[in-house]
């Protein structure tokens, strides 16, 4: 076989995936991740305000917001 010939494995001909379905799945996943990040950011800001807007604890607020939202999702 010559190097320029495309095999089914290389062209994707043997795949059961519909054209564009991977991209659509990634887009939906990206949208969900962005929505999750938005909720986390909002909750982290609420924690920051509850603490009297004390600077320097953004990471702790973010992680606590993640924990709280994950716990709420499990219930």
Residue 10: inside a domain? no
The model's pLDDT over 10-52, given as tens digits with 9 standing for 90+, comes to 444 444 555 555 677 789 889 889 999 999 999 999 999 999 9
In a domain, 36, yes or no: yes
- Does pLDDT of 67 surpass 80? yes
28 near 21, Cβ under 8 Å?
no
Is residue 43 a part of any domain in this protein? Answer: yes
Instruction: Report the number of distinct structural domains present in the chain.
Output: 1
Angle between helices 58-74 and 21-50 (to 10 degrees): 120
The token duo for 22 is 């991977």
- pTM (2 d.p.): 0.63
Distance CA 26, CA 28 (A): 5
- Predicted confidence at residue 21, as pLDDT, reads 54
Range of the domain at 53: 17-74
Give me the pLDDT at residue 8, please.
Answer: 47
């Amino acid at each position: 076989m010559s190097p320029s010939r495309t095999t089914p494995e290389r062209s994707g001909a043997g795949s059961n995936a519909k054209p564009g379905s991977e991209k659509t799945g990634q887009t939906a996943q990206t949208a969900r991740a962005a929505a999750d990040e938005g909720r986390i950011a909002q909750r982290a800001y609420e924690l920051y305000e509850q603490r009297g807007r004390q600077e320097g604890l953004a990471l702790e607020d973010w992680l606590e917001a993640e924990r709280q939202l994950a716990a709420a999702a499990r219930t």
